[in-house]
Amino acid sequence: MSTSIGWRHLPAPVRIDLWIESASARLAEAGHAAARLEAELLAAHAAGKDRVWIKIHPEAPIDEQAEAFLTRRLNWEPLAYILGHREFCGLDLLVDESVLVPRFETESLVEEALKLAEPASRILDLGTGSGCIALAMKAALPSADVVGADISPAALKVARENGRRTDLDVEWLESDLFDSVAGEFDLIITNPPYVASNADLPRDVAEWEPAKALFSSDQGTSHFKRIAEQASARLKPRGVLVAECGVHEPEVFWTIFEERGWTLIRWIGDDVGKWGFSCRFGLRLP
Ligand SMILES: C[S@@+](CC[C@H](N)C(=O)[O-])C[C@H]1O[C@@H](n2cnc3c(N)ncnc32)[C@H](O)[C@@H]1O
């Protein structure tokens, strides 16, 4: 039972600053780590303003819609779904429950890929979700030819909308991994599902993010196995694959590639724990 003061106990009209105090106490009580920041973001979203505005207008009245947003967050819905958007590599992208919320760590995957890509590369983002990786690559390499593929039509709808919103020209393709993908690429970048079905996940991930984006059979390895087997035929000679594999047991995922003839270029993200790698297919090196 909450001991914090709720909406009905706040003097009407409810002031933004008092609501933020109340909301952050309720979020903290429920176990949300960034309670104050989240309360401010929810207040700003309800007010249709940014965080700076709400800080300089603490006395402004806040709409009861803020309370509805808070109820969703207390039910562990990801903040990005409630706000409806998320920043990734400087792009403001729409997100909803049909796509994985783009992660800050995945930006390092893009940074690594950009070190390896030529300006006019042909690039495939496999499992594009919100389109975040494909769009970030296209934004950084405007003359590249970028394809974003996903098995989920609902995710592709969001990716397509993000393409329009950012005015970046990416080709979107519905495909079960490489099945409907044509031609060869200089670079394949992928953040595939790699979570084992029995993994212990935070509530907002487990209960809200799409299972299709998270889980892979065979203890999380089946997508990686298919990619390691099929990607070499889709890379041009000297082509590169960059993959995210998560912090838990990254060697398990790399071994799948190594056993299928791939050569490691670099582990990515060693400062925060190994969680990705770039590699070439060994036999295709000239
Ligand atoms: C971990 S999410 C990554 C989303 C996005 N690239 C990102 O980094 O935020 C994995 C994505 O792969 C897609 N996916 C799952 N199985 C797939 C398959 N067999 N073929 C293509 N895409 C698949 C999911 O729909 C999801 O969008």
177-236, pLDDT tens digit by residue?
A: 999 999 999 999 999 999 999 999 999 999 999 999 999 999 999 999 999 999 999 999
Can you tell me the distance from the alpha carbon of 263 to that of 285, in angstroms, rounded to the nearest whole number? 10
Average pLDDT of span 62-83: 97
Options 3.60.15.10, 3.30.70.240, 3.40.50.150, 3.90.1150.10; CATH for 85-284 is: 3.40.50.150
> What is the value of pTM for the model shown?
0.94
Where is average pLDDT lowest: 4-8, 119-123, 207-211, 254-258? Answer: 4-8
Tell me which residue has its CA closest to atom 27 in ligand 1: 129
Residue ranges, CATH 1.10.8.10, the chain: 7-75
- Neighbouring residues of 79: CB distance < 8 A, sequence distance ≥ 6: 38, 41, 42, 73
Query: In the prediction, which pLDDT does 250 show?
Result: 85
Alpha-carbon Rg of the chain, whole angstroms?
21
Query: In the prediction, which pLDDT does 286 show?
Result: 42
Residue ranges, CATH 3.40.50.150, the chain: 85-284
Q: Does the pLDDT of residue 136 top 80, yes or no?
A: yes
Q: Does the pLDDT of residue 101 top 80, yes or no?
A: yes
Give the CATH architecture of domain 7-75. Answer: Orthogonal Bundle (1.10)
Contact 10, 18 (CB under 8 A): yes
H helix or E strand, kind and range, residue 26: helix 16-29
DSSP states of 143-176: TSEEEEEES-HHHHHHHHHHHHHHT---EEEE-S
Tell me which residue has its CA closest to atom 24 in ligand 1: 213
Average pLDDT of span 84-88: 97
Token pair belonging to 42: 């929810």
Q: Does the pLDDT of residue 18 top 80, yes or no?
A: yes
- Ligand 1 centroid to residue 167 C-alpha, Å: 22
Q: Which atom of ligand 1 is nearest to the CA of 226?
A: 19
- Characterize the bridge pairing of strands 235-244 and 185-190: parallel
Using a 6 Å CB cutoff, which residues line ligand 1? 100, 102, 106, 127-130, 132-133, 149-152, 155, 175-177, 191-193, 212-213
